[in-house]
Amino acid sequence: MNRRRHSARIAPVLLCAVIAALTGCSPGDGQQAATPPARISEATAAPTPTASSAPVRPLARSLPVRVRIPAAGVDTGPTGPVLELGLAADGTVEVPSVADADRIGWYDKGVTPGQTGPAVLIGHFDTARGPAVLKNVSEVAVGDEITVTRADGTTAVFRVRELEQVDKDAFPTAKVYGDTDRPELRLITCGGELVDGHRPDNIILYADLVATRAA
């Protein structure tokens, strides 16, 4: 497993950070591996919200501290705060270490969940130690909720609009990290059948802010 990094470098461009696919998620020989989810269809998407949709007021910046995805049985509360993931010394994007495979990380060069723009969360599907925090990502469907509790006590509620499975070599950088005019969320993990000890795909969940809850 390539620890704590995406597979390509960041270009220092403000309008669209050039960030490549999530690597890692590579059970070693003889290690228990999570069962890969069935191939996600390109059709698993709901209509993109339009201007006529009731807007949800964006939140001010506040760090994420807890992520819950009921459909996948994910609640990071008992495992510790959300990790802050930045850039490694070589310019690649960090991902959670093997030791933190039961935790979700937030890409801290982007917006926080609830702010206008695409907030990005990253977690492992599995590692050399076995199934990880997003091992049940295949249970998530369009319309399911992802909630993010923030340091200021507010909770941002997102609804999944689209699920996408792509080859890591064809990672949709602009679609994932490009600017948006509303608060959105991306959740990225690995997928696909093992090839030479690595999973060749990324699974990406796209979600829109649909509600906020005060402390």
List, in order of start, the domains of the chain with CATH numbers.
Answer: 64-213 (2.40.260.10)
- Cβ neighbours of residue 43 closer than 8 Å, sequence gap 6 or more: none
At residue 87 the predicted structure's pLDDT band, cuts being 50, 70 and 90, is confident
**Identity of the residue numbered 188:** I
Provide the β-strand partners of residue 52.
Answer: none
The pLDDT, as a whole number, for residue 53 is 60
Residue among 125, 166, 155, 136 at smallest CA distance from 1: 125
At residue 215 the predicted structure's pLDDT band, cuts being 50, 70 and 90, is confident
Q: pLDDT averaged over the chain?
A: 81
Rounded to an integer, the average pLDDT of 21-29 is: 48
Both structure tokens of 23? 């690597």
The least confident of 11-15, 96-100, 184-188 is 11-15
The pLDDT, as a whole number, for residue 55 is 78
CA dist 109 and 87 (Å) reads: 8
Looking at the predicted structure, is the pLDDT value of residue 207 above 70?
yes
What radius of gyration do the chain's Cα atoms show?
A: 16
Rounded to an integer, the average pLDDT of 167-185 is: 95
Rounded to an integer, the average pLDDT of 29-49 is: 46
Rounded to an integer, the average pLDDT of 152-178 is: 95
Looking at the predicted structure, is the pLDDT value of residue 59 above 70?
yes
pLDDT digits (tens, 9 = 90+) for 108-128: 999 999 999 999 999 999 998
Q: What's the Cα-to-Cα distance from 173 to each of 8, 134, 188, rounded to whole Å?
A: 11, 21, 12
